[in-house]
Amino acid sequence: MTATPLKYSRADWIMGVAALLVLAISALIMLWPQGPAPPNIQGAILPTPKPLSAFRLTDHQGQPFTHTDLNGDWHLISYGFTHCPDICPTTLFELAEFRRQLEEHGRFTDLQVLFYTIDPIRDTRAKLADYVPWFHDTFIGLRANNQTQADAFQTNLGLTAQVSPSDDPADYDVAHGMRLYLIDSQGRYRASLEPTKDRDGSQYYEPERLLEDYLALRSWSNQLR
Binding site residues, as ranges? 84, 88, 176
Specify binding-site residues for Cu cation. Answer: 84, 88, 176
Q: Which residues pair with 92 in a beta bridge?
A: none
| Separation between Cα atoms, residue 176 and residue 4, nearest integer Å | 58
Q: CB under 8 Å to 117, separation ≥6 — which residues?
A: 79, 80, 81, 82, 123, 128, 141, 142, 143
Is residue 181 within 8 Å of 168, Cβ to Cβ?
no
* C-alpha radius of gyration, the chain, whole number: 22
- DSSP structure string for 163-178: E---SSTT---EEE--
